[in-house]
Every structure is written in structure tokens, then in C-alpha cells.
Amino acid sequence: MTRMSVPWRPGGKQVHRGPAALVAGIAKALYATFAPLVRAFPGPLLIGAIVAVIVGVWINYLVFEFVDDSLVASSTNLAGETGLLGGPLALGEVRAGLTTSGVPGSGILCYVLYPLQYGVVRDVVSMGGILGFISVIPLYTIWWERKVAGRIQSRTGPMRVGGWHGWSQSMADGIKLICKEDLCPASADRPLFKLAPYLAFVPAILAFFALPFGTYWVFRQVDVALVFILAMLGIEVIGVILAGWASNNKWSVYGAMREACQMVSYEIPMGMALLIPIMVVGSLSLTTVGDTQSEGWTSWIVFRSPFTFAAAVAYFVAALANCKRAPFDLPESESELVAGFHTEYSGFRWSLFFFGEYAAMFVVSGLCVILFLGAWYSPLPMSLADRWGLGDSVGARAIKGLLFAGPLWFVAKCVFLLYVQIWIRWTLPRIRIDQVLYACIQVLLPLMMVLLLGHTLYELFVPVHGFVWTVFNLVLSLIGAVFVLGMIFIATYGFWNRVGLVGSLGVETLPGS
Amino acid sequence: MAPEEICIILTGEFGDGVVDTVLDACRPYAVVRVDGWSDIARFLRDDGRMRFNMLQCVTALDLLEDNKLAAVYDLFSVPVVGVGPCATLRQHFAIRVEVDRDAPHIPSVSGIWPAAEWHEREAYDMMGIVFDDHPNLTRILCPDDWEGYPLRKDYEFPLEYHGIPATTEHQLNSPRH
Amino acid sequence: MGTTVLQSGSDVLTDVEGSEQGDLRTEEMLVNMGPQHPATHGVLRVVLRTDGEMVLESVPHIGYLHRCAEKIGENLQPFQYIPYTDRMDYLAGMNNNQAFSIAIEKLVGIEVPLRAQFIRVIFAELNRIASHLVAFGTYGLDMGAFTPFLYAFREREMILDLFESTCGARLTYSYITIGGVHDDLPDRFLEVLDEFLDYFEPKIDEYNQLLSFNHIFVKRTANVGVISADDAVRWALTGPVLRASGVNWDLRKSTPYEIYDRFDFDIPIGLPGGREGVPRSVVVGDSWNRHIVKVWEMRQSCRIIRQAMAQITDGPHIAAKVKNVKLPDDEVYVEIENPRGQLGFYVRGDGSSIPARVKVRGPSFCNISVLNHVGKGCLLADIPAIVGSIDIVMGECDR
Amino acid sequence: MSWIDNRFEEGLIVTSLDWAINWGRTSSIWPMTFGLACCAIEMMAVGASRFDIDRFGAGAFRATPRQSDLMIVAGTVTYKMASRLKRLYNQMPDPKYVIAMGACTVGGGPYFKHGYHVVKGVDLVVPVDFYVPGCPPRPEALLEGLMRLQDKILHQTRAKDPMSRVRAEVLAK
């Protein structure tokens, strides 16, 4: 490939003097060292980064648990010096507390743990974690969606950008979008036009602040977390309607109106579906709901009764509609409304809508996982850990975190649900608006009422762990297991046979080749 | 039915309305007078022996040497269950209507065959034949402010359109048509 | 498109009217769909008068791709004009070449060798499959299903490979020419073709499962944009649109051209719901029938190709030199069955080697003219469903 | 001009910034679905399974000009369409690029002589970055055009008024 020669880029060296020379020298040396490495081993580096993130998350998990467990223990040992986290423990006291818990390396660890006893520090750390997570999740969901779509469509998807399977594709998209011209149509309502993307994006982030990733893994332990998250997801629609209105474009108005209809109607069955697990547990706190499902996959709420099973499916459908995913992507349906409510948006503002959408996808999947699919617990029952004699030592905690419970399980389940959403999107055609509303008001809403009533009666009259209850529980659990295993099998089969699926007739068999 | 029989029926029914019949051509046709064309069209569609229910094509012709314009209507009868009593004929015939080049007026048949609506608009756009009583006789392919009728033999190519040059030096040096 | 909504260019938009309905006042809105819109298959422009999601009027405006094909036909010799016919219905170049070639052959009186006729039939039917595949895929795209489109293109690429191995072009072939075909078949062509058919025929069922009989797809298309048989004939609709309305009319059967009378094949027509596996909500002449007729036609095309492959004979592939042939002072109008309907060529000679008049009767031109008649009172989302099922190609619509 | 362009003096920071931004822009050129005629089918083929323009990160075909970077003018531009084409081009945010795909958009193509209604080259309407000839060009040709465009983007800079230096050099000579 011949490179174009561009006249205004001088071919000669740039001359730096003084401190600039030093900085330039360091930068060049670093670039010379790392650039070949990145080019040579993109795949291992990516996998290494993922492993590092997992290990980091896991270590972090340990740290948090230690701060909570050890410090609570030590502070009570120290005759109730002060409260749990506000209390200024001296460095020595932390070390003493750690030593009594038998932690190796407590001499160094105490310096790490000491600041963590302050609420502000903990908030800052977890805020950073959440913001990082929120920016990574949409980026990689988008890349992943493009790869999955490619695989479904017998092509490859992004391959070039970043080297290994286009893993940095979304980052490139992000850089490009940020650097795009910030357009605001002349006839648009300027302030509202600029406000709308934030109104769509910020609530999706706020929802993360009450979403628990594990028993200790929540930014703010809100007692009515479920209501809070639903409210935040509900605010998103205001941003979309504002966007449609302020753009001064008829397609945008169509998109916004569709979004309004769809959101307002689907929030009702969605909320009703979520009432059922709440009824089972008796708490609106998501951490409490999650912690009741620790005894293996048969204890997950989705398999508790036929009604919860149906409610989980209905919730997933309503959630698809709620975050505008196909086949309910009417607000932005490309073949009808050009791009729907974001027709006039470009660059960074448009990417905010996208981030908001993918963040909302993760939140609704997270709600589904917490309320129905066993939250952060693995299919293995927690009691197995006790039977294996795992204590509270570091190693035992590590095994517990990886095998039985932990944010990794939560994220893995969410990612599976995201995968299902992507799968549906690239398979099904789109529904018409009257059919969307029909499906909600005539089908889902009565269904949810029946389920709600049915489940109430079921809880009232069917004794827990009685014969009927157990049979239903086991049958539903088996159905669920077969379903998930089947999907995994299909995906794996498709992956291994990805060459064969393209078809037998290739270019090389043609005459004259 | 053979074209000869159709011509015989037509001349029998309309007499002077049929100016000429051309039967030895690749595709036989009859030339009819402009003022009788509406009646002939209705007869062709409704008469039990004709049943030309489908107007396939309207071709506008520029007969520069005769100082005339013409429209050729290609008619088919397609067997459809439920349209008329004996819509089982399969025949093809063409009618030609010639008009004076200076005042090209032909009665519209879009009330008889709705398909004629767009064909007649196209003939108007390309050749400048005016179809009387047409519901919406506007240009269809060219923009509304286009000048001239492109398919006429004496059409002059435009030199620019709304500021976009339509010719290049090369084109100016080489003859057109 | 975007903010082109109220931009009217040279076309005049009427005023928006308001209507009083009790306390709520609703306003009708003029929405401009196209000429650049993902659902309009090129540069069709539809001006919609809507009341909310309801479409009161949908007026198609064409001409954004008017490429003066008829004027060019009056200035070139017929064999020079063959490449321009490719570019009319660019999804079915072979069929267009065939139509124009037949017109000139009939006008001049050229006898086409038998082998050439077989080759023509094979290529015309292959191109029919390729064209219907695009229609199938883009219709899925209009309905919001992206994946069938790529599957359709994957299969289409195989057909294009076959074309390429024969005539070197992927899209604009100019292969079928006056007096026969341009080149003979390459070696092993029929074997590979056979392999392709074996591969392709089971795929039709697969795609039907994926798209045509998908519940959502049926909901979107059944009973949408119903065209009665009477209307279809009065508006001179042809091809799959006419047959979906229940009219058994296919030029390959009713007035066979070339050697189509030698083959045994069926003509799929639109069926009412509830019979022969047709979903219950379907009625004759709706968008679903227009879609499925094309799918069944692909199967019939496979049948025709197989028979042609079995019967093909040896011999010359072109009659004689056809350059500078003098056209008699006569006129001819020839129609053949294109994938989209009946493509007609009117050619008038005046004794010289350049025609005095070439007129193209594009099936898309007639088929899309019915849009306003059909699209009254449907929903906004039905407009892509109707336009997509009518399956237009703007190249031959505007010519 | 995008908000970040033409703002900084040339220097080390700008050079690194250039590298990052050019990399981003090169790797994610989103085309607009702007199919006009025959070439549009080949453009669709480029997006389909065998050629798969998504490999280069350019597979996100956007329907609205506001979100696209590249306008592939695929097919014949007529006078009736020219005003719409210009309008769509003006609606695209900077930086924007145009590829003229096919003989008709390069210079009128087969309709050059008798096409009274055909614009003799899209560069009479909008500025064009790259011409991809062919009637229609093969998908490989369009991919080649895309890669040439990537080369061009890689050599852009954010530095202030880059031409001033060239002008000074030319004057010095």
C-alpha cells in the first residue's frame, strides 16, 4: 500500500529544547518500548488485562470484606472505641485488628486499609469503580454486539482496529464521536436540545448507585433500592421526549411519542412482575432479596413457582420494551423513522444516548438477575461451602468468591442476559406500534394481574417444601437448566462450525479459477 | 381473437373513428381519431369481445416529418376471475392516436384505465402531449421547473440547471444527438 | 429524510389542515419520506399526509433517478444500447438484456440458436433468483430483521460468482445480446450450477422459517396493503404483485416467449389464509402474499433451471454478426416476465441502424403508481411494508 | 471543521493528540446509507457477508447524515437529486468525507453524452475526497477507496493553519 505524501507534514525531525527535550525523550522511549509489544501481542495483552481486572475485582472484594469484618471485630474488641466506619482508628489498632484475624502481611495491608475506614474515601473509591464500570460496559457491549451480530450473519465483524478481533473498535468510535462537530440545528430548541442527552444518560448511571453487585458490593445500601432504580429508569423517557421535541424534526417527534407510549405502558407490567419476588421475600432492599437465594439454583426465585417463572419471562419482555431493544426498537426504528428521536443528534451527544441505552440494558438485566436468577450466587448451594469445611481464611474466601458467590457471578449472569438481548435483536423483525401496545395492554397486563393473584394464592395455600411445591420447584429448575444449557450448546456449536455454516460452494470451485 | 377481427369490429362500430389499420406490422395496430378516442377506449374495455382490461403502456412518439405527435396505447386482456362476465380472453392490440404537433391535445383515459394516469403524465413530461381531463397532469420524471420536452426530436439540451453546469468543454466541441 | 421534512424543492406541498375532534384538536402533518430514506429502496420520495401514526395519503414522487434511457436509445445502435438496459433494473440485468434482445430480434427477424435460448433461460432464471433474494432480504430489512438480508446476499454472491465466471461482470452483464448470448458457457459450468442448486433449494425452507413464517413478520405483513385482483389489473400491476392478488398471469406460461413452453413449472399465486400452511390472518393480495410469491418463484426457477440443464443442446451460441443491422420501418412491442413484472420494450425503426424511438415499460413504474390507492388509512409503519413488498427498483421506474 | 481542529500550535502534545484522534477517525468511518442506483447494490454487497466492511470498523451504516462521517455517493446523480444531495452533505457534521463511487458520479459515466438530466460528476455539487471508478466498481474497489481514505485521514493534523508553513516555504523558494 502506498502512503500518500502530504506536503504540510514536514519529513524532518522536530527539535525540542530544555525540559521539552527531556519529556519528548521519555515519551519516545516509552513509545518505542511499548508500541512493538502492543503490536506483537494484542491478544495476550487483552486477555491479560481482562484477567487482571478479574483478579483486581476479586482482591478488592476481599479487601472490602476484611474492612467490614476485621474492623468491626477489632473495633468491638477495642471496647467500642467508635462506630463502624466513621471512627478514626489509629494505624496500630488496624494492624492489631488484622493480626488478630490472622491475615498475612498485615504490616503492609494496614496502610491500605487505614484510609478505607473513612466513608468519604470508600465513596470515592467505589464511585471511581462504578464510573469505570459504566464506561467499560457499554463500550464492550457495543463491540461484543457487533461481533455477535457478525457471527450470526456469517461474517466476522470488526477485525482490524487494535489488532486482535477489533477489540479497540468501540474506543476508536468513542474518540471519533468526541471529536466530531457538535451540531445543533438552527431551528432546534437550543437549551432543551443540549439538555436532553444528559437527561437520558444520567439516570441510567444513577441507577447503578443502588444496584448491588454483591452482598457488600453496593454504593449505597438503599432500603427501597428497587423503587429507586425503577424511578431512575423512568426518568430516561423524559430525556428521549425532550430530544424528540427539541430537534424540531418530524421523525424525531414520532420517535419520542412512540417512546412515551411504550415506556408508560410497559412500566406497569414491568413493575408488577417485580412485585412477585418482592412478595416472596418481603423486602424492597435488593441485597436482602439477593441473599435469600444462596442455596443453589433450585432456590432461585424464578424456579420457586410457576407464577414466578412466568413473571420472569414477562419481566424480560417488558424490560426489552423498556430499554428500546429489538423487537421493540420502535423509537429509533431505522426503516421507518430514519433514526427516530436521535435523528438530529451527532457526535458526543448522540453517544450519550447510546451509553444510556446500554447502561439501561445492563441495569434491567441486573434487576432480573437479582430478583429472579439468584443474584450473585452461583448454581452451587452456599451450604456446600460449609460442608467442604471452608472457613474464613483468605484462601477459603477466594474459593468462595469464585465458586459460590461474588460480583463476578452477578456480572456473568448479566452478560448472559445481555447476550440473549443481542441474540433476539439480530433475529426478530420489528413489531408495529399498535401491536406493541396491544401486547402490553391486552396481553401482558392481564397476564401479570393473573400471575400476581395466582402467586399470592400459591404462597398462601401451597406449603413451602411440601410435595406440590417441591415437584414444581424441581420441574421448573430442570426446564431452566435445559434452556440455559441448550443456548450455550447452540452458541458453542455455531462457534465451532462457523466455517461450515457459510456454505459449501466457494470461489475455488468455480470454473476458470 | 386475431388483430384483423378486432379491426373489423372497430371499423364496424365506429366507422370514421378508425383512420387506419396497420396489420402487416410486427405488432398490428389501429390509428384512431382524437375526438372519438374516449368512446373507443370505453368500448375496448367494456365490450364482451374485447375486454382489454389492462393498459400496459402508453408510448409517445414524435413524428417530426409529419409535424405530428402520437400516443400508442398497448392493451392486453388478462383473464381475471370476477371482472366482467367473460374475462378469459388473452389478446394484445395497440391503438395509435395522432395529434397535431402545435396543439397536442388528447382526451385522457385515466378514468377508464387508472394505469394510464402515470403513463400520461410521463408522455406529457417527455413529449409535451396534453391529456385533457387528466386529474393531475404535472411533470413526473423531470423537475417541475424543467424546460422543454426532452424526447422531442428538436429538444435542446440545457446548458445549466440551478447553477450546476450541464456541459463540459469536451461536450461543447462534439455534436449532440 | 432528516430535516428535509418540509423542504419541498420544486414539488408543491399543500397546506396542512387542522380538524376539530371534540376537545382534542389534532393536526394533520405532511411528512416527507425520501428521496433518501432507508425504506424507500433507492430514491423514491413519498409524501405522507399523516394524522398521528395514521397515514391519510401517500403520494409517490419519482424521477430522482431519471437517466434519460429513452433518449439514449434514440441515439445509439441496438447493440450499443444493451449495456444501458443492464442499468435499468440493475438487480435483473440478464432479464433486461433478454427483453431488449427479443424486441430487436423480432423487429429485424433474427432466429436465435437453440443452445443460446437454453443459456438465456438458465441465466434469466438465475437472475430471477438473485433478484428475488435481494427483494427477500431487503424486505426483512424493512421489517427490522437485519440478518435475513445478509443470508440472502450470501447466496446471491454465489449466483454472481457463476455470472462472473461466464461473462466477467458482477452486476451489469450485457451477456444476453441480440442474436444469442455473448459467449458460450465456461467448462464445468453446469456442474457448479448443479452444486449451487443442491445447496440453495433447502435454504429456501430455512429462510421461510427464519423470516416468512415468523410470527412477528406475519403480524406485520398479513392483511396490510391489500390489492384486489380487479384493482391490480386496472392499475396494470404485473409480476409477483399481480399474482399475489390471485391472478394467474405469467407471460412465461400465458404467452410463452423463447422456449419456456418446453418446461414444466407452476405459477405461485396469492393464497387466502388457513390453507396449505398459510397463516390464518393472511388474505389474498396482501403484503405477505406478495412476499411469499417471490419466495415460491425462486423454487420454480430452480425447477426450470434443472430442466434446462437436462435438455440443453450443443450448437452455436449466437446467430450472426448483429452490428450495424438495419432496422426496418416498423414497430414492435415486446414484453417479457421480469422478476418485478412485465418489462416491455417498444422499438420503432426507420430504416437506419439507429432506432427512431425506444420506450421502456418498467414494471416498477406501474407497480408503484398504486401506492396511494393502497396506502390510504394504513399506519406509518405499513408504508415500508407496502413499498417493500411491491419491490421496486428506481432504475427502471425512472429510467 | 470539528471543534478540536485548527486550535493548537504544532508540538509534541499535538502530535500525540493527532495520532490518537487520527487513529480513532480512521478506525471508525461510518458511512451514510446513500444508495442512488446500481452502485448501491455493490455498496450493500460491501456491507454483506463476503466483503464485510465492518472489519474496518466502517460497517455502522447510519441512516441519518448527522451521525455519519462518510458519504458514499453510489450511483447516478440527477439534477432533481442534486439539491437533496447537497443538503444532505451540509447536514453532516465535520469532519466529513465523500467517496464518489462509480463512473456516473466520477464524471457522468455512460450518461455523459445524451443524459440531459444527469449531473456530469458529483464534484460539481459537493467536494469529493476519493473517486472509485467502475460501472459499478467491484466491492474490492470500494474497499480500496476506503483504505485510501484512511490513509488520508492518518495524515491530518490538529495544528493551527497547517498551510501557512507550506506557503512560507514556497515563498522562500
List of chains touching D (3+ CB pairs within 8 A): A, B, C
Q: What is the pTM of this model?
A: 0.84
Q: Distance (Å, rounded) from C-alpha C159 to C-alpha A383?
A: 61
Shortest Cα distance, chain D CAs vs residue C271, angstroms: 31
Q: CB distance from C186 to chain A under 8 Å?
A: yes
Regarding whether A402 and A323 lie in a shared domain, the answer is: yes
Query: Which pLDDT does position A392 carry in this prediction?
Result: 64
Mark yes or no for CB contact D38/C90 under 8 Å: yes
Residue C246 C-alpha cell reads as 390471485
Burial class (CB in 10 A: 0-12, 13-18, 19+), B21: middle
Mean pLDDT across the stretch B32-48?
Answer: 85
Please, what sign has the CA dihedral across residues A417, A422, A427, A433?
positive
Q: CB distance from A326 to chain C under 8 Å?
A: yes
D138 alpha carbon, distance to own chain's centre: 17
Mean pLDDT across the stretch B81-101?
Answer: 70
Q: Distance (Å, rounded) from C-alpha D173 to C-alpha D159?
A: 23
Mean pLDDT across the stretch B24-53?
Answer: 84
List of chains touching C (3+ CB pairs within 8 A): A, B, D
Query: Which pLDDT does position C121 carry in this prediction?
Result: 92
Selection from A410, A490, C333, A101 nearest residue B55 by Cα: C333
Structural domain span for residue D92 = 30-157
CATH code (residue B151): 3.30.460.80
Which of chain D's residues have a Cβ under 8 Å away from the Cβ of B157? Answer: 116
Mark yes or no for CB contact C36/D66 under 8 Å: no
Residue C293 C-alpha cell reads as 410469491
Selection from C180, C346, C163, C319 nearest residue C259 by Cα: C180
Mark yes or no for CB contact C331/B144 under 8 Å: no
pLDDT value at D86 more than 70: yes
Task: Decide if A97 contacts A105 (C-beta within 8 A).
Answer: no
B36 alpha carbon, distance to own chain's centre: 15
Listed in sequence order, the residues at least 6 apart from C330 whose beta carbon sits closer than 8 Å to its beta carbon are B25, B26, C107, C348, C349
Do chains B and A have 3 or more beta-carbon pairs under 8 angstroms?
no
Query: Which pLDDT does position C128 carry in this prediction?
Result: 92
| Cβ-based contacts under 8 A for chains A and D | 137
Q: What is the 3-state secondary structure (H, E, C) of chain C?
A: CHHHHCCCCCCCCCCCCEEEECCEEEECEEEEECCCCCCCCCCCEEEEEEECCEEEEEEEECCCCCCCHHHHHCCCCHHHHHHHHHCCCCCCHHHHHHHHHHHHHHHHCCCCCHHHHHHHHHHHHHHHHHHHHHHHHHHHHHCCCCHHHHHHHHHHHHHHHHHHHHHCCCCCCCCEECCEECCCCCCCHHHHHHHHHHHHHHHHHHHHHHHHCCHHHHHHHCCCCCCCHHHHHHCCCCCHHHHHCCCCCCHHHHCCCCCHHHCCCCCCCCCCCCCCCCCCCCCCCCHHHHHHHHHHHHHHHHHHHHHHHHHCCCCCCECCCCCCCCCCCCEEEEEEEECCEEEEEEEECCCCCCCCEEEEECHHHHHHCCHHHHCCCCECCHHHHHHHHHCCCHHHHHC
Q: CB distance from C278 to chain B under 8 Å?
A: no
Mark yes or no for CB contact C229/B80 under 8 Å: yes
Residue D77 DSSP code: -
Mark yes or no for CB contact C87/D83 under 8 Å: no
Question: In terms of CA atoms, which chain D residue is nearest residue B161?
Answer: D79
More confident residue, D148 or B177: D148
Q: CB distance from A16 to chain D under 8 Å?
A: yes
* Chain D interface disruption, residue of A1, A3, A153, A155, most D CBs within 10 A: A155
Domains: count for chain B: 1
Residue D167, domain member (yes or no)? no
> C79-323+365-398: which CATH topology?
Cytochrome-c3 Hydrogenase; chain B (1.10.645)
Which of chain C's residues have a Cβ under 8 Å away from the Cβ of B81? Answer: 229, 246
- Angle formed by the axes of helices D12-27 and A169-179, nearest 10°: 110
Q: Scan residues 115-154 of B and list those with Cβ closer than 8 Å to C.
A: 115, 117-119, 122, 126, 139-145, 150-151
Longest dimension (CA), chain D: 55
Domains: count for chain D: 1
pLDDT value at B177 more than 50: no
For residue C359, give the nearest of B25, B59, B78 by CB distance.
B59
Query: Which pLDDT does position B75 carry in this prediction?
Result: 87
Give me the residue spans of the domains in chain C: 2-61, 79-323+365-398
Which of chain C's residues have a Cβ under 8 Å away from the Cβ of D91? Answer: 2-3
Give Cα separations from C166 to A513, C157, C311 (angstroms).
12, 14, 20
Residues with pLDDT less than 50, chain A: 1-14, 75-86, 500-507, 510-513
Question: In terms of CA atoms, which chain D residue is nearest residue A167?
Answer: D57
Q: CB distance from A32 to chain D under 8 Å?
A: no
Q: What are the residues of chain D with a beta carbon less than 8 Å away from any beta carbon of chain A?
A: 1-4, 11-12, 15-16, 20-21, 23-28, 48-50, 52, 54-57, 59-60, 62-64, 66-67, 69, 93-95, 147-148, 151-152, 155, 157, 162-163, 165-166
Q: CB distance from C378 to chain A under 8 Å?
A: no
Residue A149, domain member (yes or no)? no
Regarding whether A205 and A65 lie in a shared domain, the answer is: no
Q: To which residue does cell 450511483 refer?
A: D75
Q: Where residue C301 falls among pLDDT bands split at 50, 70, 90?
A: very high
Shortest Cα distance, chain C CAs vs residue B16, angstroms: 24
Mark yes or no for CB contact B143/D80 under 8 Å: yes
Q: Distance (Å, rounded) from C-alpha A481 to C-alpha A494?
A: 20
Q: CB distance from A383 to chain D under 8 Å?
A: no
Residue A10, domain member (yes or no)? no
Query: Which pLDDT does position A433 carry in this prediction?
Result: 86
Mark yes or no for CB contact B72/C346 under 8 Å: yes
Residue A394, domain member (yes or no)? yes
> Over chain C, what is the mean pLDDT?
84
More confident residue, A120 or C106: C106
Mark yes or no for CB contact A511/C188 under 8 Å: yes
Which of chain C's residues have a Cβ under 8 Å away from the Cβ of B137? Answer: none
Task: Decide if C60 contacts C235 (C-beta within 8 A).
Answer: no
Q: Distance (Å, rounded) from C-alpha C102 to C-alpha C254?
A: 17
Shortest Cα distance, chain C CAs vs residue B28, angstroms: 9
Residue B177's SS3 state is coil
Q: CB distance from B113 to chain C under 8 Å?
A: yes
Domains: count for chain A: 2
Q: Distance (Å, rounded) from C-alpha A136 to C-alpha A390?
A: 34
Q: Where residue C304 falls among pLDDT bands split at 50, 70, 90?
A: very high
Residue A29, domain member (yes or no)? no
pLDDT value at B60 more than 80: yes
Do chains B and C have 3 or more beta-carbon pairs under 8 angstroms?
yes
Shortest Cα distance, chain D CAs vs residue A108, angstroms: 38
Regarding whether A211 and A84 lie in a shared domain, the answer is: no
Mark yes or no for CB contact B151/C71 under 8 Å: yes
Query: Which pLDDT does position A501 carry in this prediction?
Result: 45
Which of chain A's residues have a Cβ under 8 Å away from the Cβ of C186? Answer: 511-512
* Chain C interface disruption, residue of D39, D73, D79, D80, most C CBs within 10 A: D80
Regarding whether A185 and A90 lie in a shared domain, the answer is: no
Q: CB distance from C253 to chain B under 8 Å?
A: no
Mean pLDDT across the stretch B56-78?
Answer: 88
Selection from A81, A109, A84, A82 nearest residue A95 by Cα: A109
Mark yes or no for CB contact C71/D116 under 8 Å: yes
- Give me the percent of chain B exceeding a pLDDT of 70: 89
Residue A348 C-alpha cell reads as 458526543
Shortest Cα distance, chain C CAs vs residue A426, angstroms: 6
Regarding whether A365 and A255 lie in a shared domain, the answer is: yes
Mark yes or no for CB contact D79/B164 under 8 Å: yes
Beta bridge partners, A381, equal A295
Which of chain C's residues have a Cβ under 8 Å away from the Cβ of D65? Answer: 1-2
Structural domain span for residue A188 = 180-492
Mean pLDDT across the stretch C195-224?
Answer: 88
Q: CB distance from A187 to chain D under 8 Å?
A: no
Residue B2 C-alpha cell reads as 386475431
Listed in sequence order, the residues at least 6 apart from A421 whose beta carbon sits closer than 8 Å to its beta carbon are A320, A325, A361, A365
Shortest Cα distance, chain A CAs vs residue C217, angstroms: 6
Q: To which residue does cell 398490428 refer?
A: B28
Q: To which residue does cell 397535431 refer?
A: B100
